[in-house]
C-alpha cells in the first residue's frame, strides 16, 4: 500500500483553491456503502451522488475523478474519470457513473477505468492491503472543455486538469477487506 497523498503533492507543486464536495451516499473519512463496491466484491458498482459548491466564479467547466492511491499497483487505481462537465452542472445523481455515462450531460467524456470499462467501478481492495482511500475529486477548470481523445487515460486527464485547475474539491471515503 502506498502512503502518499497525490493531491497534497499537486497542491504543493501548483497551489489552487479548494471548495466543498458533499454526498448523500459518502461521508468524509467513512467506509463506502456496499453500493459503491465492485460487483466482484459484493457491491453494485454504483457511483455515489456528489454535489459541489464554493468553486471560483471564473470556473468554466468541471472534471470528476475517483482514485485509490493505496492500490498495490505502484501507481494507484483509477475507478472513474469524467471530463467536460458544463459549469451549470454542480451535482451528479447516484448512478451517473453507469457504463458509457448515459446519466451524464451529452458532451461529457467518460474515460476508461483501470478495468478497461467506461464508467464507475467500485471498491475491491485486495485482502491484506489494509484500508484504502477513495478520493472523489471535482476539478474546477478555467476552460469549458478539455481536448481529450476518448482513449486518453485518467492520468492524462489529471495532467490536463493540473494545468487548467482553478480549484479542487475532494471527498475521501475508505474501504477494507482485512
pLDDT of residue 1: 47
Provide φ and ψ at 99, rounded to 5°.
-50, 135
pLDDT of residue 41: 96
Per-residue pLDDT of 121-134, as tens digits, reads: 999 999 999 999 99
In the CATH scheme, what is the code of domain 6-175?
Answer: 3.90.280.10
Profile the chain (178 residues) by mean pLDDT over runs of 10 residues.
Answer: 70 91 97 97 97 98 97 94 98 93 91 95 96 97 95 95 96 95
Sign of CA dihedral 168, 118, 157, 175: positive
0.85 exceeded by the pTM?
yes
- Coil vs helix vs strand at 140: strand
pLDDT of residue 4: 67
In the chain, domain spans = 6-175
pLDDT of residue 141: 98
The span from the CA of 138 to the CA of 167, in Å, is 9
The span from the CA of 47 to the CA of 25, in Å, is 9
Amino acid at each position: 500500500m502506498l502512503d502518499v497523498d497525490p493531491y497534497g503533492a499537486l497542491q504543493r507543486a501548483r497551489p489552487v483553491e479548494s471548495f466543498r464536495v458533499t454526498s448523500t451516499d459518502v461521508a468524509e473519512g467513512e467506509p463506502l456503502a456496499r453500493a459503491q463496491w465492485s460487483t466482484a466484491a459484493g457491491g453494485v458498482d454504483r457511483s455515489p451522488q456528489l454535489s459541489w459548491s464554493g468553486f471560483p466564479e471564473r470556473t468554466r467547466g468541471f472534471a470528476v475523478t475517483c482514485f485509490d492511491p493505496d492500490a498495490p499497483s505502484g501507481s494507484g487505481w483509477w475507478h472513474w474519470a469524467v471530463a467536460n462537465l458544463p459549469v451549470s452542472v454542480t451535482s451528479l445523481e447516484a448512478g451517473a457513473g453507469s457504463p458509457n455515462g448515459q446519466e451524464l450531460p451529452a458532451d461529457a467524456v467518460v474515460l476508461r477505468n483501470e478495468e478497461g470499462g467506461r464508467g464507475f467501478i467500485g471498491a475491491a481492495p485486495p485482502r491484506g492491503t489494509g484500508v484504502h482511500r477513495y478520493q472523489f475529486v471535482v476539478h474546477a477548470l478555467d476552460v469549458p472543455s478539455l481536448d481529450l481523445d476518448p482513449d486518453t487515460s485518467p492520468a492524462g486527464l489529471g495532467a490536463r486538469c493540473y494545468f487548467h485547475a482553478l480549484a479542487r474539491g475532494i471527498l475521501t471515503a475508505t474501504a477494507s477487506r482485512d
